[in-house]
Amino acid sequence: MFDRIKTFAAGDNLPRFVILVFYLLILLVAFFLNQSIGVLISDTLIRYGMNGILVLSMVPAIQAGTGPNFGLPIGAIGGLLGMLISMEFIPQTIAGHQWIGLLVAILVAIVFGIFFGWLYGLLLNRVKGSEMVIATYTAFSFVAMMCIAWLVLPFQNKSMKWPIGQGLKNTITMENTYGGLLNDFLSLKFVENHLTGKLELVFNRSNSWVIENYGIESALKFQFPTGMILVFLLACYLVYLFINSKTGVAMRAVGDNPSFAVASGLNVNRSRLIGVILSTVLAAVGIVIYSQGFGYMQLYNAPQQMAFGAVAAILIGGASAQKAKISHVIIGTFLFNGILVAGLPVANQLVEGGGLSDVFRVIITYGVILYALTKIGGKSNA
Amino acid sequence: MYVLEMKDISKEYFGNRVLKNVNLNVKPGEIHALLGENGAGKSTLMNILFGMSVIHSTGGFEGEVLIDSAPVNIMSPHQAMDHGIGMVHQEFMLIPGFTISENIKLNRELLKANPVSAVIDLVAKDNKLSTVDVAANARDARVALDKLDMGIDEFTLVSGLPVGHMQFVEIAREIDKEGLKVLVFDEPTAVLTESEALNLMEAMKKLAAQGIGILFITHRLDEVIHCADRVTILRDGEWVATKDKVDTNVVELAELMVGRKVEILPKAPREGVGDEIILSLNKLSVDMPGEKVKGVSLDVKRGEILGIGGLAGQGKIGIANGIMGLYPTRGEILFQGKPLKLNQPKATLDDGIAFVSEDRRGIGLLLDSSIEDNIAVTTMQTKNDFLKSWGPFKLQDKEKIRQHAESMIKEYDIRCIGPHQYTKRLSGGNQQKVCLARAVTLAPDLLLVSEPTRGIDIGAKKLVLDNLLKLNEEGMTIIMTSSELAELRSIADRIAIISDGKLAGILDPTAPDADFGLMMAGNLKGGEDV
C-alpha cells in the first residue's frame, strides 16, 4: 500500500497528491474545530459547478499546443457582453422568462467567444513558443481596454448603470434575472424553517418535505446544486465528443507534435485556431454559469485574475502545460475549490486577523502555476 | 618524434564497441588526414582527444594518449587546450556581434588595471574587474591574422563576414593560443566554396611549415591528395591503414574507406519490376537546411526498391523530404504520370505516397500519444478511415483502431505493453516499427523510407529490412534513403548516390567498393546508366 502511494505521488502526480493530502488535513482540522462539514462540502460543490466550465476551457487550448489558456479573461468578457445584452433586451420578471434570459446570454456569449477567439487565435499563431506570456498580457490589455468600453457602451437598463454619471456598475446584481437559476434547478437543499424550527428538504426550489430534527442539523445544512453540475457535465461531454472527432484528433496531433502534423498533411494553424476559439467560447459560457451561481456579474478589473485560478485547478488535476484531459478538469476543479472553501474558515479560526485566507489562496494558485511552468521543456528532453 | 600519439584506443558505448584498437600518430609539421565514412569513429576519436564529458560519463576509454611522448590524461576540453591541442570546428563557435579581435581573444583578454579593480584586487587578486586592453588585444589578433595572410581589419564585426573568413577567424583564435602543438580541423571544407577550400589548405600548409602538427578530418579524397602528408583511414571503428600520400591514390583510398562490410547475396532477378516509371523527378531542388538538394533528376520504376546513398550533408535526406513537401521545393515531380503538387504534404499523401521520416522522434511520432493512435492518425486524417458516425458527429472508431493496432503489433513484432502504451516509452527499434506501421496503414503505392535503421539495435534492424522486402514483394515501390551503404546494397535493386546536392550516379548493388567510395566523395560521375 505504501509503495503504491509512493509510486502515485512520484513525478507528475506530486502536486495532485500534496493537495489531496492537504485537503484531507484541512477537513480533519475543520471537523475538530466544529465547522459544519455539510456546509463545507455543499459550498465546495457550488464553487465546483461555478468554476467547472472555466477550468474546462483550458483543455482545447492545451491540447492544441497553445498552452494553458491564460487568455481566459478575453472569453470572459465575451460572456459578460452576452449577459449584459440579455439583461438589456430580455425582460425577466416572469419566472419562465429567466430561462430565456439565460439562454440568450449563453448564445450571445458564444457568438462573442467565437469572434474574440478567432482574433486571439490569429495572434497566438504569430507568436508560437511564447503563447503563455503573450496570452497573459493580451488578456490584461483587453481587460483594461474594456474598462473604457463599460463606461461608454450605450446600455440603458437602469439596474445596470450607476445611479448618477455615465457607465455600467462595477457589480451588477442578477437577483431579478437568472441569478441562481441553475443552482436551484432540480437541487436538493436542507433548510431550517424559521417558523417551525424544523429542518426541511427542499427540491427544485418548491417541493419540500419536513424532516424530523435529529439534532444533527449543523452537519446537515447541505445542498446539492444539481442544475449547475449537470450543465458542467454536459459541457464536459460535448468537449469529449469534440476531441474524439476527426477535427479533435487532428487538433491533438498538432498539439503533441506540430512537425508530425505537417507530415501527416494537417493544417497546424487551422487546428490551433480551432482550439483557441473553442477555449474562448467555453470561457465565455463559463463566466455566464459562474455569474449566475455567484448572483452578480462583475465588470471592470474583475476578469483580470480569472485565468489563474482555472489554470491552477487543471494543473492540480494532473494536467501539464502540454497535456490535459477532461478527467484532470473534473479532479482538479474539485480539489482546488475544496481547499479554498475549507481552508478559508479554518484559517480564519486558527489565526486571528482577516486576510490570511486570501494570502493562502494566492500562494496555492501561483505556487501550482509556477511548479507547472518549471516542468515545461521536460518534453523536449525526454 | 611524434607530437601526438593515440595508442590502441578502444571505446564502448553501452556495450556497443565503436572504436577497436585505433592508432593515430601525428608528427610536428605534418598534415595528417583522418579519413572515414560517417560513423567510422572519427568523432569519437576526437571526443577522446578533447576529453569530452560524453566519453568520461560513459565509462572512459581504453588505450593511451601521448603528447611529446609523455602520457597525458585529458579530462576536459580545457585541459586539452592546456596541452596545446586546438580545434577548428565545423560549426563556427564565434560570437557574431563581437569584432574579430574580441572573438580571437575571448576569455584570454590582455588586461590593464583600473582604480576599482586595483582596490578590489588588493583582496581578490583575480583581475576579474580589470579593464580589457583593446589595443594590446588587437595587436595580438593582428599577429595571428598576419600569420594566415589575412588582410582584413581586426575590428570588423564577425556577423557580416563571409563563411570562408569566419573559418579563418577560428583558426586565428587557435594559433593565438600559446604553445599550440596540434590543430584539429573537423571537416573544415564542408561549408566552403572551392576557392575558399583552396585558401584554407594553403593556410594549413603554412601552419604546418611553422611546426604545428595538423590533423585534418575529411571525407573528400582529392583534398587528402592535395594537401596531406600522411593519411589514416578508419572504418567501422577500426583502424584500416596509415599511408604516406605518395604511396597511394584516390581509388585506393576510396576502396579502403568503404570496404566490404557484409556478404551481399546475389539477388535473384526480380519479377514485377518492369519498365513502367512510377515516379519521375525533374530538376528537383529542396531547400532543407544541411541537406540541400540542387537539381536532381531521377526515375523510379514501379515495383523496385531504389536506394539513395551518399555522405551526410550531401542532400540525400532532402529528396524524400522534398517529395513529401516538408521543405521548400522547386522542380517537377511526376507521380503515376501526373504532376504532384509541390510543398503540399496533404496532396502528396492523398496521391498515395507515404513517408517514414529520418527524424523519428521529431517528425515521425506523436510521443505523448499511444501506439494505436500513432498508427491510425494519418490514415484517419487523410482517408477518413477509423471513423464512425454518432448522430451528426464523426467520432474516432476506437474499436477499429484497437483491432488494427493489435494486428500491426503482431505483424511487425512491436514489443510493447499493449496498444495503449505511449510511444515515447518504446525503444528506438520499436518506435521505428510503429512509424513503418503508420505509413503502411495508408496503403501507399510508393513508400519513402529515410534512415530506417538509424540508432536501432541489430535485431530490430533485420526485422525492419525484412519487412521492407516483404512489402516490396507485395507490390509496393520503395525509395529507401540510408547512410549505411551495406544495408542499401543488401536490399535495393539500384542505388542512387547523391553528392553535393546532385545525382552523382546510379550503381548496381554489386558494383565494386571503389566505385561507391569515389562516387560518394564526388570524384566519379555517371556510373552505370540504368
pLDDT in tens, B20-50: 889 999 999 999 999 887 667 888 898 899 8
Q: How far is A12 from chain B (nearest CA, A)?
A: 14
Q: Does B142 share its domain with B246?
A: no
Q: Which of A62, A63, A240, A246 would you mutate first to test chain B, the one with the most B CBs within 10 A?
A: A246
pLDDT band for position B530 (50/70/90)? Answer: very low
Strand partners, B35: B218, B233
Which residue reads 525484412 in cell numbers? B466
Residues ≥6 apart with Cβ < 8 Å to A133: none
- Chain A nearest-CA distance from B361, in A, is 9
- What span, in angstroms and rounded, lies between the C-alpha atoms of B111 and B83? 24
Residue B247 vs residues A178, B225, B230, B231, B241: alpha-carbon distances, Å: 96, 11, 9, 10, 12
Last residue of a domain, one of B155, B173, B191: B173
Q: Above pLDDT 90, what percent of chain A?
A: 32
Taking the C-alpha atoms of residue B498 and residue A80, their distance in angstroms, rounded to an integer, is 62
Which among B377, B434, B438 is the top mutation candidate for probing chain A, defined by the most A β-carbons within 10 Å of its own β-carbon?
B377
Residues of A with Cβ-Cβ distance to B424 under 8 angstroms? 382
Q: Do A252 and B369 touch (CB under 8 A)?
A: yes
Contacts of A380 in chain B (CB under 8 A): none
The CATH code of the domain that includes B479 is 3.40.50.300
Q: By CA distance, what is B324's nearest residue in A?
A: A263
Do B353 and B456 belong together in one domain? yes
Q: Give yes or no: residues B336 and B454 share one domain.
A: yes
The DSSP H or E segment spanning B354 is strand B353-356
Query: Is B281 in the same domain as B366?
Result: yes
Domain boundary among B173, B192, B222: B173
Residue B37 CB partners (closer than 8 Å, separation 6+): B219, B235, B257, B258, B311, B483, B485, B520
Nearest chain B Cα distance for residue A132, angstroms:
21
Provide the b/e sequence for A113-124 (b: ≥16 CB within 10 Å): beebbeebbebb
Grid cell listed for A205: 426550489
Average pLDDT of chain B is 85
Q: How, if at all, do strands B494-499 and B502-507 pair?
A: antiparallel
The whole-angstrom separation of Cα B253 and Cα B524 is 13
Residue B269 maps to a domain: no
**What contacts A211, CB < 8 A, 6 or more positions away?**
A190, A198, A199, A200, A201
DSSP state of B341: P
Residues on chain B touching A265 (C-beta within 8 angstroms): 344-350, 378, 381-382
Q: At residue A175, what are phi and psi to the nearest 5 degrees?
A: -50, -45
Residues of B in contact with A322 (CB under 8 A): 368
C-alpha radius of gyration, chain A, whole number: 22
What grid cell was written down for B169?
577567424
Look at residues B115, B140, B173 and tell me which one is the last residue of a structural domain.
B173
| Contacts of residue B284, Cβ cutoff 8 Å, sequence gap at least 6 | B293, B295, B296, B297, B298, B319, B322, B323, B329, B330, B331, B332, B333
Which position has the grid cell 546536392?
Answer: B501
Mutation target to probe the A interface, by most A beta carbons within 10 A, among B317, B363, B365, B380 is: B363
CA nearest B394 in A: which residue?
A245
Identify the residue with better confidence: B219 or B425.
B425
Q: How far apart are CA A88 and CA A104, in angstroms?
A: 11
B345/A263 CB distance under 8 A? yes
Q: Please answer yes or no on whether B396 and A249 come within 8 Å at the CB atom.
A: yes
How many A-B residue pairs are in contact by the CB < 8 A criterion?
A: 78
Residue B529 lies in a domain: no
pLDDT, tens only, A5-14:
666 555 566 7
Q: Does the distance separating the beta carbons of A253 and B377 come in below 8 Å? A: yes
**What percentage of residues in chain B have a pLDDT greater than 90?**
15
Residue with cell 485556431: A273
Contacts of B367 in chain A (CB under 8 A): 256-257, 379, 382
Instruction: For residue A341, give Cα distances in angstroms to A338, A349, A365, B290, B377.
Output: 5, 13, 14, 57, 43
pLDDT, chain A, mean: 83
Q: Which of B324, B362, B367 sits opposite A382 (nearest CB)?
A: B367
Taking CA B135 as the corner, what is the angle to CA B131 and CA B139, rounded to the nearest 5 degrees?
Answer: 130
SS3 of residue B502 by DSSP: strand
Indicate if the pLDDT at residue B487 is higher than 70.
yes
Sequence-distant (≥ 6) Cβ neighbours of residue B10 within 8 angstroms: B17, B19, B20, B21, B22, B61, B62, B63
Lowest mean pLDDT among A251-260, B126-135, B256-265: B256-265
B393 to chain A: which residues are within 8 Å by CB?
241, 245
Question: Phi and psi at residue A369, in whole multiples of 5°?
Answer: -60, -45
Q: How far is CA A185 from CA A90, A227, A284, A292, B167, in A?
A: 20, 5, 21, 12, 76
For residue A381, the one-letter residue type is N
pLDDT of amino acid B263: 46
B327 in the same domain as B233: no
Strand duo B230-235 + B238-244: pairing: antiparallel
Closest CB from B355, B368, B398 relative to A263: B355
pLDDT at A375: 65
Q: In this structure, are B59 and B151 located in the same domain?
A: no
Classify residue B6: in a domain, yes or no.
yes
CB contact under 8 Å between A257 and B363, yes or no, is yes
What residues of A are in contact with residue B355 (Cβ under 8 Å)? 263
CA B285 to chain A, closest CA, distance in angstroms equals 19
Shortest CA distance from A255: residue in chain B: B366
For A260, the closest chain B residue by CA position comes to B363
Q: Is B265 a domain residue?
A: no
Across the interface, of B348, B363, B424, the residue whose CB is closest to A259 is B363
Q: A245, B395: Cβ pair inside 8 Å?
A: yes
Residue range B55-67: mean pLDDT, rounded: 87
Confidence class for position B447, pLDDT limits 50, 70, 90: very high
Mutate to test the interface with A, among B329, B340, B349, B369 (most CBs of A within 10 A): B369
Tell whether ipTM is more than 0.90: no
Q: Of B369, B394, B396, which is closest to A256 when you measure between CB atoms? A: B369
Average pLDDT over residues B156-182: 85
Q: Answer whether residue A109 shows pLDDT above 80.
A: yes
Contact (CB<8Å) B366/A253: yes
Residue among A256, A259, A265 whose CB faces B381 most closely: A265
Question: B interface mutation test: which of A238, A257, A268, A379 has the most B CBs within 10 A?
Answer: A257
Q: What is the mean pLDDT of residues A347-357?
A: 71
Task: Report pLDDT for B201.
Answer: 87
A264, B395: Cβ pair inside 8 Å? Answer: no
Domain range for B208 is 1-84+179-259
Closest chain A C-alpha to B385 CA, distance in angstroms: 10
Confidence check: pLDDT of B16 > 80: no
Closest residue, chain A, to B325 (C-alpha): A263
CA distance B429 to B420: 18
Cβ–Cβ under 8 Å, residues B3 and B182: yes
Q: What is the distance between the terminal CA atoms of chain B, rounded to a whole angstrom?
A: 52
What are the backbone angles phi and psi of residue B293, rounded to the nearest 5°?
-105, 130
Query: If you write DSSP's letter for every residue of B280-318 in order, what string do you get?
Result: EEEEEEE--TTS-EEEEEEEEETT-EEEEE--TTSSHHH
Mean pLDDT of A274-298: 93
Q: Kindly state the percentage of chain B with pLDDT values over 70.
A: 94
Nearest by CB to B349, which of A246, A253, A265? Answer: A265
Shortest CA gap A145–chain B (Å): 39
Q: Are A324 and A7 in contact (CB under 8 A)?
A: no
B79 vs A114: CA distance, rounded Å: 61
Q: What structural domains and CATH numbers belong to chain A?
A: 53-184+226-373 (1.10.3470), 188-224 (no CATH)
Do B339 and B233 lie in one domain? The reply is no
Using the predicted structure, report yes or no on whether residue A382 has a pLDDT greater than 50.
Answer: no
Number of domains in chain B: 3
Distance CA B411, CA A133 (A): 46
3-state secondary structure at position A303: helix
Q: What 8-state DSSP symbol labels residue B362?
A: I
Subunit contact A266:B381, Cβ cutoff 8 A: yes
Is B267 part of any domain?
Answer: no
**Span A303-330, mean pLDDT?**
88
Contacts of B395 in chain A (CB under 8 A): 241, 244-245
Looking at residue B529, its pLDDT comes to: 42
Which residues of A touch chain B, with CB atoms under 8 Å apart? 241, 244-246, 249-250, 252-253, 256-257, 259-260, 262-267, 322-323, 379, 382
Q: Do B367 and A256 touch (CB under 8 A)?
A: yes
Facing B368 at nearest CB: one of A244, A262, A323: A323
In angstroms, the CA A146 to CA A153 distance is 10
Q: What is the pLDDT of residue A80?
A: 94
Confidence of residue A41 (pLDDT cuts 50, 70, 90): confident
Among chain A residues, CA nearest to B322? A263
Q: Residue B394 falls within a domain, yes or no?
A: yes
Same domain, residue pair B292 and B379: yes
- Do B303 and B410 have their domain in common? yes
Do B194 and B290 share a domain, yes or no? Answer: no
Spell out which residues of chain B touch residue A260, defining contact as CB-CB under 8 Å.
Answer: 363-366
Rounded to a whole number of angstroms, the distance from the CA of A63 to the nearest CA of chain B is 11
Query: Helices A131-152 and A72-89: crossing angle, nearest 10°?
Result: 20
Q: How many CA atoms lie within 13 A of B78 on its CB side?
A: 2
Q: Which of B365, B366, B393 sits opposite A241 (nearest CB)?
A: B393
SS3 B333: strand
Task: Identify whether B528 is part of a domain.
Answer: no
Most confident of A215-219, A262-266, B260-264: A262-266
- Whether residue B78 sits in one domain with residue B125: no
Alpha helices in A126-194 (DSSP H): 131-152, 181-184
Both B215 and B235 in a single domain? yes
Interface residues of B toward A, Cβ cutoff 8 Å, are 324, 326, 344-350, 355, 357, 359, 362-369, 373, 377-378, 380-382, 384, 387, 390, 393-396, 398, 424
Say if B28 falls within a structural domain: yes
